[in-house]
Structure 1
Amino acid sequence: MTTRLLASRALALRWLAVVAAGSMFGFAAAQTATPARNAPERTVGEWLARMHEASRLRSYVGTFVVSSGAATFSSARIWHACEGQHQVERVETLTGAPRSTFRRNDDVLTFIPEHRLVRSEKRESLGVFPDLFKSAAGTIGDFYTANRIGSDRVAGFDADVVQLAPKDGLRFGYRIWSEKKSGLVVKLQTLDKDGNVLEQAAFSELQLDAPLKPERIAQQMVVPPGWRVEKAEAQKTTPAAEGWGLKAAVAGFAPMSCYRRVSDGGVLQWIFSDGLASVSLFVEPYDRQRHQQEGAFASGATHTVVRRLQDWWLTAVGEVPVQTLRAFADNLERRK
């Protein structure tokens, strides 16, 4: 698994979903939220459907901050415009190396100034969180419970605070701040089994229903003269056609799609989701020179398990507990 591919996927997971992941504002919702009073109860699916629709139908401009741990954070400026079923988005990093990422529906362009490079790929092949309506959304309630635990203010907006708790140890919990009028997610925390915040993402400043025109943002996607375009080719395939399968399913996680990433050396990517959390299995031929260290690694809520499988090298990545990735690794088998 290449570092570049993992970095590209991490960028998409963080910035293109708006309901991303993140940890640092230093207080728990139970301490800051006003107790809920006489609020109509919604199911898990109803809360998520409302949030999903808000992210699709509302235009906004804001500064988004993602943090994990006491000293790790990043921020970006987001412009999100909607016109009918068409969506255009611009994300400008404010920390770290300069990056500009544009999305027009499923087309994603990332501009990397120091290399005068534009990386082009499809959003669908990135496994972007959440995969609510690509999965069996009706089963989400089998694995999560939802409770409105109060209200709070984020970036000047009143928000419902909703706790999504997992029913097993294969997935993390979430605490979500959803703007009361629109349902747009303005803050999200990813929680471990003890309720500790692993990551947090939040708008520090937000303008809802901003007067943005999609064509204005789309015009900025023109590649400057002299810049190189690197297309991340991902060919749709099936695990069976590639000779892979699972001995047993991992509870709640359904297969979403499978790609052979031609531009990344032919790495196979098999994507799973439970409607909230997603897992990607990257499989490539074992190379003694490049593939040396097996084990499990964590960065905030994102865990990675790397393992040799006979003549193959597996990299399992997801915002899930490490035991979930190990369950996938243990059940992956070569069938031809």
Structure 2
Amino acid sequence: MSSIFRNFIVFPAILIFSSAVFAQTALSPLQRLNEMSRAKDQLSYEYTFVQFNPTSADTLRYQHVNLKGKSYAQLLNLEGTKQEIILRDDLISYFHPNYQSFTIQGKQIVDHLPNVMATDFNQLARYYDFVDLGRNRIADRVVQAIRILPKDNFRYQYVVFVDEENHLLLGSDMLDRDGNLLERFRVVTLYVGEELNPLSDYLNNIRRPAPMLSIRGDSNQPLGWRAGWVPEGFKLINRNVESDNNDRIESSLYSDGLFFFTLYVSDELLPNMQENVWKQGSYTIYSETINNKEVTLIGQLPLSTAKRIIKDIIFNK
């Protein structure tokens, strides 16, 4: 683990608050999280943030403008080769000097940003508890810390830090069940105001690459298997079958609204390999040979959960 994590210190916020700020603290954790979701879409703001995981740290700038009910956004890395992602007209365009630019459909940029920025917390409340951890301080601003704690032992947890004044997310920690850090998001500088509105002109003048044609397989083909068990709250988002010559790969994407995982089933690729495990940041990659099939799970889940999901897969007779 890098010295960035070892040297991270949480400073208690010991400040004198106005009566208006005291009134804001009366919000329940769920109410505050819902205010966070609204603020992210309705405000015009810019922040520089650092995204950490156990193997890397990236510095990025995110700008968002709400103008006449339309959202515009830009995500830009601030180190190394320039990479830019822009949002306008419910289309997200990716620009990288070493790769062909492309556009996909989407209502918000999710790359490099915490999962909690794209979550329906009212739905999530069935499977998670929201615990008020009190005040803290991030980017020289007072925040309220909230723990998003699963009601079972099958998934990870979050601690989020929400600005008391404008309700924007200023920090988050994704933790495993033992409290070990998997990912960290920290805002370093923040600006909120309509002075950012000219960003919409800049984004409108960018020549956007044409939207990508769908390259996905057939979602109507029947799968030769189904998941016999997934943690409560996880639902099938989409399924897919791709065929290339004699190779056939079947996949299903699941989500509980906060975490995602995908199951892949294909012909046996490694006949001598009974199982294989990789960890990449918050992602678990677990593969096992079952019924002469190579079954792989990729997602933000504990290894024990991934193993149970795969072992409970039911194959068609």
TM range (shorter): 0.7 to 0.9
Matched with 1:55 is 40
Deviation at 1:122, TM superposition (A): 3.6
Deviation at 1:186, TM superposition (A): 1.0
Deviation at 1:146, TM superposition (A): 1.3
Match for residue 65 of structure 1 among 50, 57, 82: 50
Report Cα offsets for 1:241-281 as digits up to 9, x if no partner.
33442123322312233345799x98544222222222222
User: Structure 1 pair 114/287, CA: closer, same or farther in 2 (3 Å)?
Assistant: same
**Aligned length, in residue pairs:** 299
Matched with 2:136 is 152
Amino acid in structure 1 at the alignment position of 2:208:
V
Matched with 2:230 is 249
The within-5 A match list for 1:280-299 is: 280-287=262-269, 294-299=275-280
2:145, 2:161 within 8 Å by CA — same for their partners in 1? yes
Report Cα offsets for 1:165-190 as digits up to 9, x if no partner.
22221111211111112221110001
Q: Which has the higher contact order (CA 8 A, sep 6+)?
A: 1
Cα RMSD of the aligned pairs, angstroms, is: 3.6
Cα distance in 2 for partners of 1:24, 1:232 equals 41
**In the alignment, does 2:8 pair up with 1:27?**
yes
1:250, 1:327 within 8 Å by CA — same for their partners in 2? no
Deviation at 1:195, TM superposition (A): 2.1
Cα distance in 2 for partners of 1:107, 1:292 equals 42
Deviation at 1:294, TM superposition (A): 4.0
TM-score between the two structures when normalised by the length of structure 1 = 0.74
**In the alignment, does 2:262 pair up with 1:276?**
no
Cα distance in 1 for partners of 2:82, 2:248 equals 28
Amino acid in structure 1 at the alignment position of 2:102:
R
Please say which structure displays the higher CA radius of gyration: 2
User: Structure 1 pair 97/253, CA: closer, same or farther in 2 (3 Å)?
Assistant: same
Cα distance in 2 for partners of 1:62, 1:159 equals 15
For structure 2, the 5+ residue unaligned runs are none
Matched with 1:214 is 200
For structure 1, the 5+ residue unaligned runs are 1-22
**In the alignment, does 2:77 pair up with 1:90?**
no
SS in 1 for 2:160: strand
Deviation at 1:198, TM superposition (A): 2.0
Percent identity over the alignment is: 18
TM-score between the two structures when normalised by the length of structure 2 = 0.77
Amino acid in structure 2 at the alignment position of 1:40:
A
Matched with 2:146 is 162
The within-5 A match list for 1:1-336 is: 24=5, 26-27=7-8, 29=10, 32=12, 39-44=25-30, 46-69=31-54, 72-104=56-88, 106-115=90-99, 117-123=100-106, 129-130=115-116, 132-133=119-120, 138=122, 140-210=124-194, 211-212=196-197, 213-223=199-209, 231=213, 233-234=215-216, 237=219, 241-259=222-240, 268-287=250-269, 294-310=275-291, 312-335=293-316
User: Structure 1 pair 306/97, CA: closer, same or farther in 2 (3 Å)?
Assistant: farther
